[in-house]
A and B are shown apart, each in its own frame.
Chain A
Amino acid sequence: MRVSAPIVTERSPRAQRLRRGLPFAGILAILAVYTLDTLALGPRGPWQTVDGLLPGPGLERDIVIDQQELRALLETPPDQKRALVVGSSRAQSFRPQLIRSELRHSVRFGRIAHGLIAPFEIDSLVDTALAIDTDVVVILLSEFDLNRPVFIAPPVSFGSFAAVRDLAQLGGPAFSYEHRLLLFRLSAACALNSYRYRDVLQRAFADKWRRFELGDPFPRPTRVSHPNQVEGGTPTPLSGADQKNLFSRLGQLFPGGYRSTFDQIRSVTRGPHADFQRGLVRRAVARLHAAGVAIVIVETPVHPLSVTLYDTSIRDDFVGFASQLVSEFGVVFVALEDSEPYVGEDFGDLVHLERGAPKLTRTIETAVAEVLRVDSPLRR
């Protein structure tokens, strides 16, 4: 019997050299990083576990809750509409559990709200909103959001190259060069979830063991974020007597403290920073509109006393800007006059609703219900 010789395949020297030269371990490592980064730190990642590891409430916790909200939206059955409610910590007064059950059957509400969500974050969120196939985006906004200094804290929670490009375009070349570090960091946050969520991960996994606890003499700073701020204008000064009376009244109204919100309110001013903020919101709205997503802007109230602490005509600027968005992009704008009236008792401090949260929730509920009944501009 004839036995055929074993087939030997010899690689050419060039192929061998190529094989030797190819960084297989590096390629494998890049794949592993990409997979881990996308899966473990995407909305379907183990955020509940991370939540359990966080020491308590705070920005990091809110960011983790965002991810859980996004996951819930992603898992919404196809017959249910998806509504994304976005805003700063003031938007936390929107309580999805208070929505009437008939509407909740047909619309799944997700709330993305925490401190440091400002126009840049809203612009950054557009890609995420599109990725989860959102039907309507509700943006809670007022002059309080648009007329305060630009405050960008990379990496906060959302990253979008388009938003970084918007920021660079809006600022222009000189701005981009001067603030290139910020742009680099924002870009890195867009490229890698592990960079974007590093504060959250550090707080959850590292702070326990790397805090060199010896009591007060040697406290360890645990936050690594250093926010960037584009300064605003100067508020009209208050006279000494006015300020004393005001502080006394505020002290009675908010015994838990009012200084931080007071300073925030006082930083509501006109100036280039406001143009900048409006530019970012406009770009976000334009991108959502181009993708066929319905947009609702709900004017968010502040305490009646707060309105007296800045130039009230600034509100007219905001309403004017919102009206422009209505005419240009078909945005549904719910002004304060169209909402249930808010009174001082509705607020927990100068800017956050407490007892008035159901009123805000009902306003959003009504607006979303109306918008989603309109069929033509929507994708479904």
Chain B
Amino acid sequence: MARPREQAVLMCDHSNSHPRMLFNSLEFGFFFALVFGVTLLLPHRAQNRWLLLASYVFYAAWDWRFLGLLALSTTIDYWVARAIHQAVDSKYRRALLATSVVSNLGILGIFKYADFFGTSLARLLGTLGVELQPFLLEVVLPVGISFYTFQTLSYTIDVYRRRMAPTHDFLDFALFVSFFPQLVAGPIERASRLLPQIGARRKVTMVGIQGGSWLILWGLFKKVVIGDNLAPLIDAVFAPAAEPYAPEVLLATYAFAVQIYCDFSGYTDIARGLAQCLGFELMLNFDLPYLARNPSEFWRRWHISLSTWLRDYLYISLGGNRHGRWRTYRNLLLTMLLGGLWHGAAWHFVAWGGYHGLLLGVHRACRGALDRLTIGSATRQRAVHLLSTLFTFHLVCLGWLLFRADSLSHALSLVGRFGGPWHVGLASAWLLPLTVLAGPLLLMQLAQAKSGKLNVVQQMPLVLRAAVYAGLFLVVVVFGEDFGRPFIYFQF
């Protein structure tokens, strides 16, 4: 029988329009199975080379053209860190550090922020009556660039601060920068944690595989079942043309709080689980953030790898809390404004960062008074804690509204909806789906908070644990979106 001519057989595959190699895609499942299987067969050094190759293949699956950027960033920081380590003169050391910072942030600036600042400047001049056609680069944002840039920067800064010695193995360093489980959306690992794990002989153990598999399963459940199934509700309300009523905005904001948590923490769980299966231990990135009792605690629990990065390399560099109250507030605000900008080149992200900076400042100012509220009986303490948690959650939700909106004006118009009619009847139809989807997450988090352990499922009796595993797996298979809806944080 004649075989079809390849060129004449065209496939119209809708799933091809989605980015490849998402953790929640079947393609990644097959990719990881291959990577894992081969890793088991190799000795330590060869494992590192194999994982480096796999990481570059993984990144190339998104867009091979940006492999050069990844390699460039890796090369610059590898050599600069070595030069800093060898240099004695402090000015020269500083100049070397500046080389790394400028080149890394320069790349980030060109690819992520150039058009944003160009357009913003043109708009600003426009309001002053000066017409200017901004020169726009219109380049595609390389996936994960914000993450790996911060990761490599932290290495160079740590070497500069003499907190660690540079590595002498370029390929190990390249693996540190490109390690595929955390390459595109973190956690932003510190070299002092990950490089020693790369350099040391690792053990792939059954316990590691079990723990890793659980993290992968739970992460997938959060992402594809909870997060993705909530997405249509949120997309509908946050669509620029939508005219939602106040209760719909309220519920969609709650839903987005759940979605972004499930999406991002789900990604992190999968990343940590994959790494654990391969014998690595990545840092915890989320620690029940919605149970935080104040904004400071929220940032100690949310995107921990970024918040600690901002604290260690930005807030402290700005002076931290060492120069009086007002400088501390300024530093908090600046850090959070830049943190907001890190999330995206748009003013509503900056506003979101600024909003959190304000929250942190206000909390810092009122900390003493708030602490005094908890003095009293255990019941009073519990009540205050509960109210603080709820209050903090709502403050965070208001921030999410800014974050999710398309622009600052869109966010303000959505906030304005709360002053409009409250047709509760319409939104009541959403309560059940929202409860069904968010319910398992809430139950799990309460159990984790009560037991004080994040691995609460592993403490369950064997049969119950097996039932949870089987149930989650089937729910993921049946009710999960199988095209791999991209993770929200990939855009940053």
Contact = CB atoms under 8 A, between A and B. Distances in A.
B26 A185 contact: yes
Contacts of A28: 462-463, 466, 470
A184 B229 CA distance: 23
A171 interface: yes
B30 interface: yes
Given A32-B467, A185-B26, A209-B432, A214 B2 contact: no
Interface in A185-220: 185, 188, 192, 194-195, 198, 201-202, 206, 209-214, 217-218, 220
Contacts of A26: 210, 213, 466, 469
B242 interface: yes
B136 interface: no
A279 B429 contact: no
B1 A282 contact: yes
A188 B482 CA distance: 11
Task: Report which residue of B5, B243, B467, B469 has the largest number of chain A beta carbons within 10 angstroms of its beta carbon.
Answer: B469
Contact of B4 (A188, A227, A276, A282): A276
Contacts of B242: 217-218
A229 B6 CA distance: 14
Interface string B193-227: 00000000000011101100100000000000000
A249 B462 CA distance: 69
A198 B477 contact: yes
Interface string B270-296: 000000000000000000000000000
Interface stretch (B13-21, B303-311, B371-379): B13-21
Interface stretch (A175-183, A305-313, A345-353): A175-183
A251 interface: no
A115 B466 CA distance: 39
Contacts of B380: none
B80 interface: no
B351 to A, nearest CB: 26
Contact of B482 (A214, A224, A231): A224
A212 to B, nearest CB: 5
Contacts of B465: 25, 29
A68 to B, nearest CB: 20
A47 to B, nearest CB: 15
Given A181-B15, A212-B236, A229-B11, A272 B4 contact: yes
A39 interface: no
B237 to A, nearest CB: 7
B467 to A, nearest CB: 7
A230 B205 contact: no
Task: Report which residue of A178, A206, A218 has the largest number of chain B beta carbons within 10 angstroms of its beta carbon.
Answer: A218
A21 B469 CA distance: 17
A75 interface: no
A206 B436 CA distance: 10
A237 interface: no
Nearest to B228: A224
A226 B12 CA distance: 10
Interface in A251-277: 271-273, 275-276
A221 interface: yes
A202 B479 contact: yes
A171 B478 contact: no
Contacts of B6: 171-172, 174-175
Contacts of B210: 23, 25-26
Contacts of A21: 205-207
A36 interface: yes
A150 B8 CA distance: 12
Interface string A160-177: 000000000011101100
A131 interface: no
Contact of B10 (A184, A202, A230): A230
A22 interface: yes
Interface in B97-142: none
Given A29-B469, A210-B437, A275-B4, A175 B9 contact: yes
Contact of A194 (B16, B437, B478, B481): B478
B433 interface: yes
A214 B11 CA distance: 36
Contacts of B437: 210
A224 B248 CA distance: 25
Contact of B206 (A22, A213, A278): A22
B232 interface: yes
Interface in A273-296: 273, 275-276, 278-279, 282
Given A172-B3, A220-B232, A226-B13, A272 B479 contact: no
Interface in B1-59: 1-6, 8-16, 25-27, 29-30
Given A28-B462, A182-B13, A192 B4 contact: no
A217 B11 contact: no
Contacts of B207: 20-21
Interface string B43-80: 00000000000000000000000000000000000000
15 contacts: A20-B207, A23-B209, A25-B469, A26-B210, A29-B473, A30-B470, A32-B467, A181-B15, A185-B482, A209-B432, A212-B236, A212-B433, A228-B13, A275-B2, A282-B1
Interface of B: 1-6, 8-16, 25-27, 29-30, 205-207, 209-210, 213, 229, 232-233, 236-237, 242-243, 248, 426, 429-430, 432-433, 436-437, 462-463, 465-467, 469-470, 473-474, 477-479, 481-483
Interface of A: 20-26, 28-30, 32-33, 36-37, 150, 170-172, 174-175, 178-182, 184-185, 188, 192, 194-195, 198, 201-202, 206, 209-214, 217-218, 220-221, 224, 226-231, 271-273, 275-276, 278-279, 282
